Structure 1
Amino acid sequence: MESELFDLEKLKFPIGEFQKPNLITTDNLKNWIAIIEEFPSKVKLLTENLSVKELNWIYRPDGWKIKQLIHHCADSHMNSFIRFKLALTEEMPIIKPYEEDQWAELQDGLADDLSASVLIIEGVHARWVYLLKSFGEKELKRQFIHPATNKISTLEETIGMYAWHCNHHLAHIEQALLYKGQF
């Protein structure tokens, strides 16, 4: 396939970039939590029968392989779960960022066996959703600071961001499968 036929931004963001609503409603939160809850089963369904060749398909030119996307989601969602717990137990903590591109290139991020990362995703999401469903208004308004941007984020907006993150990477996997990694 000729990559000039593809819009690189559309390949990077097949569902668009995250757009935080001006007002986060109870319905937004319920929908976002449902997306986070369903993510592990959707990942498993999309990847459980893939060959090693298919796991190495990329979703865009210079993009990650399917296997890297799965390992990244395990890494990212573990970090997010910890950030939620920090925000719930500390006053406006400064969270610890990590170099996701470098993590994706470590040996565990390149492993063809997805089983450990899928188990991490299943376990983290089960605990995360259990925690999210317990939130009242006070917990939703808890905040943390990202030191790279000095941005203050509330937990309620971060729930939306990670629901988007789930759908964003599911769309990447579907894209890689649709185009058979031919970029």
Structure 2
Amino acid sequence: MPDAPSATRRSERARAAILAAAGELTRELPYAKLSIEAIAARAGVGKQTIYRWWPSKGAVVFDAMLELDSGPDGLALPNTGDIAADLRELLRGSVAALTDPGFESFLRAMYIEIQQDPEIGAAYRERLLLQRAAIADRLAAGVQSGELRPDLDFELATDLLLGPIQSRWSLGLGGLTEAYADAALTAALTYLKA
């Protein structure tokens, strides 16, 4: 007779099922209509299983969002040896994620959750710091290779790269296209390469 699955393996499977269910449901329902009950039903677990790991709907959905956002290399940026191409991929990817019609309203709802829930806000800031560190690492490689100025201020450079896109999105100004991402990159490179 095969061994019964260990509690740890069952626990890991349940957690993965919950995150997958939350990720799927964010594409199917407006955030306001998404519930712990719906996530539990889709994952095939009880509500208490969800509350064992997450204190709120916002927390489980935020973790599901991070799962969807994690690529095979995590937060590392590509290093093809062409800093402009690598940063273009980053900015175009940001625009694509923020303007995805099936995801944008959900992201806007999560933006509100981040402002209202201190735990989710702290987790978001931690993730943001990791993203900024990954960008700084790629910029440092650009400095080392001679593609970028030797006295580059990494914090300012990161703000110049991400700020225009984040600002337009958070203010709902529209116009977030690949062409806009490319124009923002061209403007930032004026400082990065000077």
Q: TM-score, normalised by structure 2?
A: 0.29
**Highest RCO, 1 vs 2 (Cα 8 Å, sep ≥ 6):** 1
Look at both structures and tell me which one has the larger radius of gyration over its CA atoms: 2
Which structure has the highest strand share of the two? 1
Which structure has the highest helix share of the two? 2
Q: TM-score, normalised by structure 1?
A: 0.30
